[in-house]
Amino acid sequence: MLKKIFIAAMLTIGLLPAFAQTQWQLRTEKDGIKVYSSDVPDSKIKAIKVIGEFYTTPAQLAAVVMDVNGATEWVYHLKSSTLIKKVSPNEIYYYAEVSLPWPAANRDFVAHLTATQNPETKAITIDGPAVPGYVPVKKGMVRIDNSVGKWIITPVGNNEVRVEYSIHVDPGGSLPSWLVNMFADEAPVQIFKNLKNELQKQAYKNNDNLLSTNIGN
């Protein structure tokens, strides 16, 4: 069935555990953004990794990712995103709906985001697996229950960071190959381009303390 990549779950703004010993193959490179794919054991769906560089600080970029209420501004085909529970500035639960073209049904999910920072390298990692519960399953919607993803935001110079985003998701149900390919080819590059624009907003641009005192530059 689905033997190629489905990336719609990238819309999860930050999701996942690392893909240990994964063999990544370069899929495409455009505008300084590299997109890789990899087979995943016992899965017909491939994993995706996106790498790019941004002129910002780790805290500022992490603040954008954790600000789920603003995610529809930059995440590809994200119809809605709503904060469910804020455990702390660095840990939240949120609900999101992904808009898919007809005849496919929209997907939705609940994700748990946690942000941590390496005290030595200052790199910020944001994990966000899909979690069950919190929001009842809705009629006409396909719930994504199996999704893992991870953002790694590493400082590489003066106000410059290297961003690595990895994702593997089971979209549930069946999807036409043209739709799978559309999300695999367009979503990674478009998300990173939109993210660059989002970072220019004043709310993020001049504030390095948007998460907590534990997350700095």
- The pLDDT value given to residue 4: 33
Judged on CB neighbours under 10 Å (0-12, 13-18, 19+), 150 is buried
Give per-residue pLDDT as tens, 76-130: 888 999 999 999 999 999 999 998 888 888 889 999 999 999 999 999 999 999 9
pTM as predicted: 0.82
> How large is the average pLDDT for residues 183-205?
83
211 occurs within a structural domain: no
Q: Which residue has the higher pLDDT, 119 or 157?
A: 119
Lowest mean pLDDT among 71-85, 139-153, 192-206: 192-206
CATH code of residue 17: 3.30.530.20
For helices 177-198 and 58-66, the axis angle rounded to 10 degrees is 130
106 occurs within a structural domain: yes
- Provide the domain count of the chain: 1
pLDDT at 184 over 60: yes
186 occurs within a structural domain: yes
77 occurs within a structural domain: yes
Show Cβ contacts of residue 102 under 8 Å, excluding neighbours closer than 6 positions.
none
216 occurs within a structural domain: no
133 occurs within a structural domain: yes
- The pLDDT value given to residue 150: 92
- The pLDDT value given to residue 180: 63
40 occurs within a structural domain: yes
pLDDT at 14 over 80: no
210 occurs within a structural domain: no
Closest C-alpha to 173, from 108, 128, 82: 108
Q: Provide the residue range defining the domain that includes 102.
A: 8-205
